[in-house]
Structure 1
């Protein structure tokens, strides 16, 4: 097992990609702090993964003080912390007209500020255990869709943070910091988001090859499988890296003629 005896905090792990990551971590021998805001869904995850292997922590990442509370609860319960997976995200539809300072603060608080604070608050533990951090970004960090302005900006900032801390923390503390940027993933929240746009629940079954050359989009479990490499010891000394996980290149891609 690649995470035997490791303690892993996965933020936003009551649904979607985070839940898939938490599940995979337990399969690989880890004990996992399941984090989210919804008690019912959190309890379902804990029940599935095992109460002796998990701790449910309910807290709102829009509150910067949550970082200290989450780290304290994690260490007090399991006695240590080896790994942080900053997965939770606030996906807000916004463009130049609808984005203001208040929205930017809300989005950045969840997507960038508190992930940084979690690393800062846990640094003593991560350093002592020569731990690792994996930030879950987004391919939107490179530019983003016109209606995902604030979200895309926050993920771009996370990408810079990853590269900066990946170098500084490894040199000074032996802590690796890397990032994966998932593409289009079929999560419960993505289905809900599309429903709010008036689309049917099976919209993902027929997608243009421009967006899904494989004939489908990516499952959360496929992202979770890749996460294990980046947070396990088999990653070796690799740090400060940002990797896209999508089924086509994000930069320099030419759209097929039939999709233009």
Structure 2
């Protein structure tokens, strides 16, 4: 049986919210006064973040967004639990690296299934849920939707598709007062980044090389990205739609 709570003033759904940028975004939006529904594949991590935020104003729904009907299900869960949904952060994604000419078809399809097809389905479900009352959808893309990096071609293509969709969806959904924007993080110090760094022969040298390539001299933190998402989700951005906001320390400005 679903536990009903008083309808909060603002409700956000964050996909891929069990770690990294997604978890930090859930924390930031919760701190900004949102009730938050978190979704993701790892129940243990998702429940841990939910307990941290408090069960009265946060809940976790495990979901594999590549399965048919899952995006609609989690939107329905958010509305059933909190009465409405005002913001959807389309963050769930999978990394991929590999020499472009040798990437197996199965890996290409798997990358697009989560990074593109599932993300499109989330956007569609969010738009349907918001069609009467309006809202804000924030897609999380990547600096690699704009610039080329060797071995990242398939990932870049999957995120580039979402960058293009952001602009198109913003125009199409504007009559419903649904804003659609994206943030494009650069290198971000998530657990995946730290694991990659620690696997290098000389992590300190690699860290310096990464920082030297960024005009502001450091990778992003999950908090940096969450702050940009929170801005686009806020009333302060109520006249902003169709943009991709780089959060990359100036990397793509070079």
TM-score by length of 1: 0.88
Aligned twin of 1:187: 190
Q: Deviations over 1:206-226 (max 9, x none)?
A: 345532443421111111112
Q: Deviations over 1:10-37 (max 9, x none)?
A: 1111100111110010110001111111
Of 64, 72, 88, which residue of structure 2 is paired with 1:84? Answer: 88
Q: What secondary structure, in the 3-state scheme, does the structure 1 residue paired with 2:252 have? A: coil
Q: What secondary structure, in the 3-state scheme, does the structure 2 residue paired with 1:128 have? A: coil
Alignment of 1:141-156 (within 5 A): 141-156=145-160
Is residue 224–residue 247 contact of structure 2 (8 Å, CA) maintained in 1?
no
Gaps of 5+ in 2: 1-7
Distance 2:102 2:39 in 1: 30
Q: What secondary structure, in the 3-state scheme, does the structure 1 residue paired with 2:245 have? A: strand
Alignment of 1:41-56 (within 5 A): 41-56=45-60
Distance 2:207 2:155 in 1: 26
Is residue 63–residue 109 contact of structure 1 (8 Å, CA) maintained in 2?
no
Q: What secondary structure, in the 3-state scheme, does the structure 1 residue paired with 2:78 have? A: helix
Of 210, 213, 232, which residue of structure 2 is paired with 1:211? Answer: 213
Of 219, 224, 234, which residue of structure 2 is paired with 1:232? Answer: 234
Q: What secondary structure, in the 3-state scheme, does the structure 2 residue paired with 1:250 have? A: helix
- The count of corresponding residues between Structure 1 and Structure 2 is 247
Distance 1:212 1:62 in 2: 34
What is the CA RMSD across the aligned residues, in angstroms? 2.0
Classify 1:36/1:204 alpha carbon distance in 2 versus 1 (closer, same or farther; 3 Å): farther
Residue 109 in structure 1 maps to residue 125 in structure 2: no
Q: What secondary structure, in the 3-state scheme, does the structure 2 residue paired with 1:234 have? A: helix
Distance 1:114 1:242 in 2: 19
Residue 175 in structure 1 maps to residue 182 in structure 2: no
Classify 1:127/1:185 alpha carbon distance in 2 versus 1 (closer, same or farther; 3 Å): same
Of 68, 73, 98, which residue of structure 2 is paired with 1:94? Answer: 98
Distance 2:20 2:121 in 1: 23
Aligned twin of 2:135: 131
Is residue 14–residue 38 contact of structure 1 (8 Å, CA) maintained in 2?
yes
Q: What secondary structure, in the 3-state scheme, does the structure 2 residue paired with 1:42 have? A: helix
Aligned twin of 1:20: 24
TM-score by length of 2: 0.90
Distance 1:39 1:57 in 2: 8
Distance 1:86 1:22 in 2: 12
Aligned twin of 1:244: 246
Is residue 90–residue 123 contact of structure 2 (8 Å, CA) maintained in 1?
no
Classify 1:248/1:111 alpha carbon distance in 2 versus 1 (closer, same or farther; 3 Å): same
Classify 1:231/1:103 alpha carbon distance in 2 versus 1 (closer, same or farther; 3 Å): same
Q: Deviations over 1:165-218 (max 9, x none)?
A: 0111013x1100001111111001211233455564x67753455324434211
